Amino acid sequence: MRILLISLLAPLAVFGAQADPLSAFNRIAFSQVKGWLLQSAEKMPEEAYAFRPTDVVRGFGQIIGHVADANYRFCSAALGEKNPALMIEKTKTTKAELIAALREAFAYCDKAYAGLTDATGVELIKLSGMDMPRLSALQVNIAHTAEHYGNIATYMRLKNMVPPSSEPPARPQPKQ
């Protein structure tokens, strides 16, 4: 019981000890889900980018494009910029195009997360015609990305692939 309690409280102590713990945690959360999505996009074979479990859901590649589009939507609001509305989901179809677009969208969002502090996180911005704290817009981005990573993980399982979040951690290589 003592070990469980320590393992649960240790990360809180790290965040509590640093400046801007809310924005720091959100940068970490975004980085994690971003990594899983990029790894999934890279791991899925080109021929499976059109895969959809049923005809009423997006195909794998369409989800990648949708997430890229959504990153611009949420992060442009957080940055106080006009959404570039690139329509990636509708205009990109190949694995290479979609991975490149996803990387660019994540790089765009990295600017929003990098510039975030707990103080700027509570400033109100407009998103979908609503006033909301800047941090909340970025949390919605994380939740939206994670939601679609869940779709992607299911698609990968249906293709007998292990999603990145379920892969065992990499073992350190022995020194030679």
Whether the Cβ atoms of residue 94 and residue 108 lie closer than 8 Å to each other = no
Sign (positive/negative) of CA torsion 35, 150, 100, 87?
negative
Query: Which amino acid would we find at residue 70?
Result: A
% of the chain at pLDDT higher than 90: 84
Q: Is the pLDDT of residue 116 over 60?
A: yes
> Would you state the structure tokens that stand for residue 34, as one six-digit string?
């971003």
Tell me the mean pLDDT in the region 48-59: 97
Domains annotated for the chain, with CATH where assigned, are 21-51+58-164 (1.20.120.450)
Q: 117-172, pLDDT tens digit by residue?
A: 999 999 999 999 999 999 999 999 999 999 999 999 999 999 999 999 999 887 77
Cite the DSSP H helix spans in the chain: 2-17, 21-43, 60-79, 88-91, 95-114, 118-121, 134-158
**What does the pLDDT read at residue 11?**
53
With cut-offs at 50, 70 and 90, classify the pLDDT of residue 7.
very low
Tell me the mean pLDDT in the region 37-49: 98
pTM, 2 dp: 0.86
